[in-house]
Amino acid sequence: MSAIVIRGGEVVDRGGRRRADVAVDDGIVKAVGPDLAAPGGAQVLDGAGCVVAPGLVDLHAHLRQPGKEEAETIETGSRAAALGGYSAVVAMPNTDPPIDSAGAAREVLALGRDALVEVAVAGAITVGRRGERLAPMAELAALGVRLFTDDGTGVQDGALMRRALDYARGLGVVLAQHCEDEDLARGGAMHEGAWSSRLGIPGVTSVAEEAMVARDIALARLTGARLHFLHLSTVGSVDLVRRAKAEGVAVTAEAAPHHLVLTDAACASYDPTFKVNPPLRTDADVAALRAGLVDGTIDAVATDHAPHAPEAKDVPFDEAPPGMLGLETALAVVLSVTDLTRALALLSWQPATIAGLAARHGGPVAEGAAANLCVIDPAVTWMVDPAGLASRSRNTPYAGWKLTGRVRHTIVRGEAVVIDGEARR
């Protein structure tokens, strides 16, 4: 591992903005300041016109391994993450088999050791993600698992969710809920509204999400446990979380990039690429989510990166699995709806704190800090080409879009894993 000097950039972190070079060696930041000398043999990276920031942290990525390697592997998913500026991702547990035991978690953690970014593991709340009995959360927590979710399904049994929250509080971990009442959502394939009626596609009412958000806020208030809401998508959900935070309930929330820029009108093409769960909603919902970014109701933007092999999406809309790619496009999409500093807070240090990764990721770019960094060119424009993405899958909703802002370099554990937009291994 050679020393690295990033020259000519502007450092942006939670402490503010300043012009400075950044020197890295032995996995840590050695110096931050003007006109730093490069020691012999050091790798010099061009940061001119760029922002040097803490690496991004994704709270919500589906890496598919084990079980669906035809769609993604930890290696290909981590490559996409690195190209997107991420230094860490949290792998969701809805794999096959699910991550509901210490053995399953060890397998994914072992696969992640050779990944381009740090791969943290989320554990399932219930065995098999079936919502019937709690997974061995203490065993998983002993391995370092800090986030637990049955993502893909919400825990339907309120009494079981209460027990899980009580247990999580004692362990000092966070439960993350996919909020969807299955009885209210059953049979739906897109948002229930004017477009679903026009297209003849069964819809999912916003109430399916909001009912569970309301229930779980009440349970978090009752238990005092920390609760994180995954991929919120509706006006009502944002309002419920805003009021809960005002009361002091220990809740955090994320939004996915696609819910910030796409609406249910995109489904008019009947293209299954635009089928996602929760579904794309209305203009009013998009506006509410964007307002939540500004006022702090939404703490993080998480990709919900959900690759599917092409043949899986090559079926009628209502039969296709839900999900979209997100890791390589998230930064540019978020920059299209908010300013750079807020985007970095939402994509880096705030999700790092929620995920329990703040000791290594998202911290200030300062001497002695872990060298997990990204160098962003905020002005460059680029065209999204599905064939040019690192994922094994191609289900991006942004094909052909012209985006502004892209990562030039990514440094993980002191190693330059992306240089000039190219992954190095």
The one catalytic residue among 304, 314, 318, 420: 304
295 is a catalytic site residue: no
How far apart CA 38 and CA 5 sit, in angstroms, is: 6
Q: Which two tokens stand for residue 106?
A: 């060890």
Which amino acid would we find at residue 35?
A: D
Active site residues: 304
